[in-house]
Amino acid sequence: MNSRDGTALVSRRFTVAPGVIVRSLDDCRVAFDTTTGNTHFIRSINALVFDLLASGAFTLAEIEQGLPLDSGETLTEEERLLIGTFLTSASQAGMLATQ
């Protein structure tokens, strides 16, 4: 996948990569990549994205639908942008696998 390609981002399904261990510290997710030895800290809306991706593989649209938001609340444009950037950078860092 060319993760810089916005079209590809939409069509792919993302999941937490094998070998990535995820722990919670308050509102933050701490992910340890056993392949690289790198530790990542995931905050804000992306912590919820990471929780979702730990349970399966989802497209961007499914992620946006599946986030546990408060009743009636929808994602802001800024949050959508954050999620898109996260999916791209986390895939490049090896934390996320794509299908």
C-alpha 23/C-alpha 15 separation (Å) is 16
Footprint on residues 1-40 left by another protein (CB under 8 A): 21, 23, 25-28, 30, 32, 34, 37, 39
What is the nearest approach in angstroms of another protein to the Cβ of residue 67?
20
CB-based contact 97:17 (threshold 8 Å)? yes
Q: Are 22 and 54 in contact (CB under 8 A)?
A: yes
Interface size with another protein, residues (CB under 8 A): 13
Q: Name the site residues for another protein (rule: CB under 8 A).
A: 21, 23, 25-28, 30, 32, 34, 37, 39, 41, 43
